[in-house]
Structure 1
Amino acid sequence: MAGEVSFFELGVGDSERARDFFGGLFGWTFEPGPSDGGGFAIRTPNVRGGLHGNDPGASPYLFFEVDDMAAALEQVRVLGGSVDDVDLGGGEESIARFGHFRLCHDDQGTPFGLHQPPGAGGDG
């Protein structure tokens, strides 16, 4: 359903250390993810997540689900927000597995992300 929290991403300096820390703290399980440099997909009881390295001191990224990425990005712009240029989904195989991700800012500069899961309408 559009607007629900769909995905979170943790940017850290060392993804292996973070995997050990968050796995030990929350009991999350990890599998290889789409990002370069040893990223992981995180399995939690409720929300899908990701972990990527080489991003020390980053704030968590929060992504909201959309059914049609292209339409949602246009609406962000119409409402006075901005959209980063890069689809964070990775290559074709990664997009097929994880979907499309875009970072945006609202009309006051607040960062947030949009996520179109695999198989959702629209072509991203």
Structure 2
Amino acid sequence: MSNSSGQDKQINYIEFNVEDISRAKDFYGTAFGWTFTDYGPAYCEFSDGNLKGGFAHSEGVRSGGPLVILFADDLADALERVKKAGGKISKEIFEFPGGKRFHFVDPEGYELAVWSDK
């Protein structure tokens, strides 16, 4: 009998420190269709349909850290949705050995990327 959850050594949750939870929810809900569960005024959990994470209220957000990369079936459409939601494109679509991707900065100052194998 195994006691393993099948998730050992896998990324399980991502948390962003944000100055404005409402602004983060608006951006990620509009750009990527994420859903949210509020846990009081200082914390909100998000779900992208596969992975869960959270937005924690924090003053003075700093950039840096690991690059979070999302996947999109239609990269050009994802780029337009990010722009429409208020994201700033920091690297336009470029090719790499696995496909194509672009980088953007969200309204809280985090840089993320979106990639596609098409």
TM class, shorter-length: 0.3 to 0.5
Which has the higher Rg, Structure 1 or Structure 2?
Answer: 2
Higher strand share goes to which structure?
2
